[in-house]
A = this chain, B = another copy of it.
Amino acid sequence: MKVNGVTIEDSFAEAFDIKIARVLITAYDYEWALIAATEATGFGTSIIMSPAEAGIEKKALPEETPDGRAGYYIQICHMSEKKLENQLIARIGQCVLTSPTASVFNGLPAAEKKFDTGNKLRYFGDGYEKSFEYNGRKLWSIPVMQGEFIIENEIGYTEGVAGGNFFIMAENQPSALAAAKSAIQVISDIDSVITPFPGGIIASGSKVGAKKYKFLKASANEKFSPTLRSVVEDSHVPEGVEAIYEIVINGTTLDAVKKATRAGILAAIKIPGVVRITSGNYGGKLGKFKIYLSELFKN
């Protein structure tokens, strides 16, 4: 299929189930909310060696936040429920509780499953903390140096999707990168999804395990390495492609991940020099979800 003159391969992205907690951080303004959100979601690219997958979802307008302040939604993701809870405690406790003017609310108030993260963190108040009700939410106020820190008693989490993805192939590196950046900026306004890698982009895709160094859990995917096109057998790098970037998308629903994939591809293919879009999978054997690129562009 061709869209905007760019070939979109008849491929599918293989995505996985993961547990996702969604946290709403508000502050004086978007800038301070973003500072807390950035620190709290850092070192959170891939579960392979990061303690969690984490990212900033999108702005929360004042009219949608419990305290009427500007904010950001963040998502923290893990396969393990226990580790997800630990990550919530550590990341909120270390990176939001300490962040100027930040408050923490449940970003998934309708979720059935909840961690009592606020209840665990309120002990930091050492007995001076107080609970109160506000618009049906149970909140804690903890006296701190800046005045007080507000956190909701519970944070919701849900069964979500990890590893939605697409690959941008271009005739050179700046072209692939401009396309990836454009895609990420568009995805950053879409509800319910994050792109956990640095700037939302992956420069170095991996395969499961390794051919030579057997002790590795993951290694570079040489079939997608442009400099190895003439070296490895069955390279997936088309002729004329000098650089590839991958966008990985996690989200609380499959539909949101699909929507983000489509919007990201549409943005990417507008950049000159982009020649091909594809997606990554493991033959459909590992992941629970398949996102067919062709299906996204039917209408």
- Which residues of A, 271-288, contact B by the 8 Å Cβ criterion? 271-273
Determine how close the nearest CB of chain B comes to the CB of A45; give it in whole angstroms: 5
A232 to B, closest residue via Cβ: B128
The answer on a CB contact under 8 Å between B94 and A49 is yes
Give how many A residues have a beta carbon under 8 Å from the other chain's beta carbons: 109
The answer on a CB contact under 8 Å between B273 and A123 is no
Residues of B within 8 A of A159 (CB): none
Partner of A228, one of B101, B128, B204: B128
The answer on a CB contact under 8 Å between A145 and B99 is no
Hey, which bits of chain A sit against chain B, CB under 8 A?
28-32, 35-36, 38-46, 48-51, 54, 59, 61-62, 67-70, 89-91, 93-102, 123-128, 142-149, 167, 170-182, 185-186, 189, 197-199, 201-206, 210-213, 216, 218-222, 224-228, 231, 242-246, 263, 266-267, 270-273
5 closest A-B pairs (Cβ-Cβ)? Answer: A42-B42, A144-B204, A99-B198, A127-B212, A174-B178
